[in-house]
């Protein structure tokens, strides 16, 4: 008699996983999570793990929130779905749009809703192209992104990513996307270069690219306030003011990708407020619902909206949107999520917990001979591993040091994440994480590094 298949067997047999090494998964199978509360996850075997990543940078209010469950049930009973094409609307989405505009930095005017950060950044590019077509500038269509940026996985948003693994095998990036360096002093600054000189060099590089391509062909620059998946790269405070001076000079729009940073991750509502960004368009997702249900949004500034609205006279119906755009369940969840964050003081708590995280990571890793940098901002942190700090030398990528540390951490009960651009592990726990849980996350990661160093004989 054939043995009954476990859920792991069924997974390996039928499920096509995203961002997964397919052959390795067929051999090893999944870690199947069945329950979550606060910052703790439980697998099918009853083993508990601290989630140092809040899922994928997103479960900000923590797992198992009963208030969110009640909101979703109540909204399902009242109106589970209706579309928003052809001027159809629903109450939760109208109220959420009003709230987002009130929260947003700068002069935002309208909100377009989608389902994920990927489709939202795709939408942003279409908005930029539409905007320039309405203005009679059909050649002004190129988008500048940055090395190590992450902006999604659709054909366009995947093209915007400055990560080679996002392009390999997919015939990306598209030819209208161009890249400048990331503001990462560890690897990009010249020896002895001051912060001001470094920033000016990056601004000059951007200007040279715009001039080389032709200012009448460059439409927008897209950037995360802190580059999350690219390595938790925190820019110098003077970086965005210098970049925006160049953008204004050549009439290039700024798209702020706030998918990770938005709604409190950096200790303020938006990362743009932390780093002096004045965006023309803002992309949000993840933290807008704390990932309890998919939702994304494009926030459009007054000046851009005025042009887009006038496009109806030229093109008729604005023919873009998704079946699930402005989904009432997602909008209701977002409203409750934002209520919880505001009422429970989770943004100042995230800032305080972020200070604790930075302190513990520095204490555990600051003097380690295999650590090139401990960095972060707000409740985002990262540790980058190097072969040598003097001279600064990267590990051979084939060693896969960071993935090994993450694997060992998981064995020890903490889920962190290895980032693809370098040997870096990231920390982005829920805002509800306790100080004791942060201490454990950092201590387990240090033990994991020491275990991996001994196994791979990385130290003399």
Residue 210: name the closest of 247, 242, 184 by CA.
Answer: 247
The reply to whether 50 and 81 lie within a common domain is no
Query: Is residue 24 in a domain?
Result: no
Cα–Cα dist 217/192, whole Å: 36
Domain harbouring 305, CATH code: 3.40.640.10
Length of the chain: 460
The reply to whether 440 and 299 lie within a common domain is no
User: With contact defined as beta carbons under 8 Å apart, do 154 and 119 qualify?
Assistant: yes
Cα–Cα dist 213/178, whole Å: 9
* pTM of the model as a whole: 0.97
Query: Is residue 6 in a domain?
Result: no
The reply to whether 312 and 363 lie within a common domain is no
Q: In sequence order, what are the residues at sequence separation of 6 or more whose Cβ sits closer than 8 angstroms to the Cβ of residue 37? A: 62, 63, 64
Q: What are phi and psi of 421, to 5 degrees?
A: -80, -20
353-382 mean pLDDT:
98
Q: In sequence order, what are the residues at sequence separation of 6 or more whose Cβ sits closer than 8 angstroms to the Cβ of residue 221? A: 143, 144, 145, 206, 243, 247, 252, 253, 254, 255
Which of 302, 327, 343 corresponds to the end of one domain? 343
Q: Give residue-wise pLDDT tens across range 12-71.
A: 999 999 999 999 999 999 999 999 999 999 999 999 999 999 999 999 999 999 999 999
Average predicted confidence (pLDDT) for the chain: 97
Domain harbouring 394, CATH code: 3.90.1150.10
Query: Is residue 233 in a domain?
Result: yes
- Total domain count, the chain: 2
Q: Which range of residues forms the domain containing residue 366?
A: 31-61+345-456
3-state secondary structure of 301: strand
Query: Is residue 92 in a domain?
Result: yes
Which of 343, 365, 393 corresponds to the end of one domain? 343
The reply to whether 291 and 366 lie within a common domain is no
Query: Is residue 8 in a domain?
Result: no
Q: Would you state the pLDDT for residue 442? A: 98
Position 421 confidence tier, pLDDT thresholds 50, 70, 90: confident
Position 2 confidence tier, pLDDT thresholds 50, 70, 90: low
Which of 317, 343, 369 corresponds to the end of one domain? 343
Q: Would you state the pLDDT for residue 3? A: 73
């Amino acid at each position: 008699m054939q043995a009954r298949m476990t859920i792991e067997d069924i997974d390996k047999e039928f499920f096509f996983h995203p961002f997964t090494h397919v052959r390795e998964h067929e051999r090893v199978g999944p870690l199947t999570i069945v329950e979550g509360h606060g910052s703790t996850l439980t697998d099918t075997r009853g083993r508990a793990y601290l989630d140092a990543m809040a899922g994928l940078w997103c479960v900000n209010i923590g797992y198992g929130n009963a208030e969110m469950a009640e909101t979703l049930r109540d909204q399902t009973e009242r109106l589970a779905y209706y579309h928003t094409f052809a001027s159809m609307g629903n109450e939760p989405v109208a109220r959420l749009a009003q709230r987002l505009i009130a929260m947003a930095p700068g002069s935002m005017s309208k909100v377009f809703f989608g389902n994920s950060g990927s489709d939202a950044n795709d939408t942003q590019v279409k908005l930029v192209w539409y905007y320039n077509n309405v203005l009679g500038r059909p050649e002004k269509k190129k988008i500048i992104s940055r090395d190590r940026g992450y902006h999604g996985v659709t054909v366009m948003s995947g093209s915007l990513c400055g990560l080679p693994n996002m392009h390999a095998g997919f015939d990306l990036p598209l030819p209208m996307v161009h890249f400048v360096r990331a503001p990462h002093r560890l690897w990009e600054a010249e020896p002895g270069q001051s912060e001001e000189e470094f920033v000016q060099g990056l601004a000059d590089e951007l200007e040279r690219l715009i001039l080389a391509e032709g200012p009448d062909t460059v439409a927008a620059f897209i950037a995360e306030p802190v580059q999350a998946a690219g390595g938790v790269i925190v820019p110098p405070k003077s970086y965005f003011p210098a970049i925006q001076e160049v953008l204004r000079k050549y009439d290039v729009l700024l798209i702020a990708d706030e998918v990770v940073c938005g709604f409190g991750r950096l200790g303020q509502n938006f990362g743009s407020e932390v780093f002096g960004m004045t965006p023309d368009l803002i992309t949000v997702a993840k933290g807008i619902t704390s990932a309890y249900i998919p939702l994304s949004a494009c926030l459009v500034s007054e000046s851009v909206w005025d042009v887009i609205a006038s496009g109806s006279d030229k093109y008729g119906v604005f023919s873009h949107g998704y079946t699930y755009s402005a989904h009432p369940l997602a909008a209701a969840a977002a409203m409750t999520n934002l209520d919880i964050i505001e009422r429970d003081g989770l943004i100042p708590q995230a800032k305080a917990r972020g200070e604790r995280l930075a302190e513990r990571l520095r204490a555990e890793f600051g003097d380690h001979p295999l650590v090139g940098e401990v960095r972060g901002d707000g409740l985002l942190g990262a540790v980058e591993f190097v072969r040598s700090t003097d001279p600064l030398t990267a590990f051979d990528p084939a060693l896969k040091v960071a993935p090994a540390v993450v694997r060992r951490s998981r064995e020890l009960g903490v889920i962190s994440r290895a980032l693809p651009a370098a040997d870096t592990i990231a920390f982005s726990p829920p805002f509800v994480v306790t100080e004791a849980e942060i201490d454990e996350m950092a201590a387990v990661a240090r033990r994991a590094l020491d275990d991996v160093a001994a196994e791979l004989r990385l130290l003399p």
